[in-house]
Amino acid sequence: MSDTPNWFEPVARQNFENYLSHLAGKPNLRFVQVGVFAGHASKWLLDNILTDQSSKLVDIDTWSGSDEHTDIDFVGIHKEYLDRVMTKYANVHVVMADSAIYLPGLKKNHSDFIYIDGNHTAEYVTIDAENAWLCLKSGGILAFDDYLWTDQSDTPKSAVDLFLAKYHNELIVLHHGYQVWVQKK
C-alpha cells in the first residue's frame, strides 16, 4: 500500500483540520466525498471527525480513473481503499458509480460537508458542484481540490471560478488557494 500516492497529505489534511475540526464527534453528520482514490481522506475523516456512529460518510468513486490517470492500476487502488476503509468502519457507505448519476439522488439539504475531488475536467467539476450545492445544508461546507492543478489543459479552475461567481451571494469563501473551501449561507 505504501507505493500509492497519498495526495491527502499535507495540503488537504491541513484544510480538513482547519475547517472541519469543530465538527469532531458530533452526531448525525452527513459527509460526501466525490473521488476517494485509495481512501486517505476517508480514513482521516472517520478517525478524527465522524467518530460518532450516527454520523455517516458517503464515498463516491468509479475506481476507473479518467484521462489524467493513464498508468494507475485502479483495481489495486480500489482494493487498497477497501482494505483501508471498508473493512474497518461501519459508518461509511461506498458507492461505485459516476457522481453525476449518484449525487442528484441525494436529498436536498442532506450534507454537512461535500468534498469534490473526482474527474478534474471543468465539465465534470461544474456538474459535481451544481449537484453538491443542492445537497448541501445551509451552514454546510463545500470543498474543491486541485483548483490550481495544471497537469492537463482542461482543469477545475474555470469551473470553480464560474461557480464562485454564480453563487457569490449565497456563500462565504473560507479558503482560496490550491483548494477552495466555501460555506453555504
What are the pLDDT tens digits along the chain (185 aa)? 457 888 898 889 999 999 999 999 999 999 999 999 999 999 999 999 999 999 999 999 999 876 666 678 888 999 999 999 988 999 999 999 999 999 999 999 999 999 999 998 999 999 999 999 999 999 999 999 999 988 777 889 999 999 999 999 999 999 999 999 999 99
Instruction: Say if strands 30-34 and 111-116 run parallel, antiparallel, or are unpaired.
Output: parallel
**Of 143, 149, 129, the residue nearest 181 (C-alpha):** 143
What is the reported pLDDT for 1? 46
Fold of 11-184: Rossmann fold (3.40.50)
Q: Chain-centre distance of CA 72, in angstroms?
A: 20
Q: Chain-centre distance of CA 14, in angstroms?
A: 15
What is the reported pLDDT for 67? 64
Q: What is the pTM assigned to this prediction?
A: 0.94
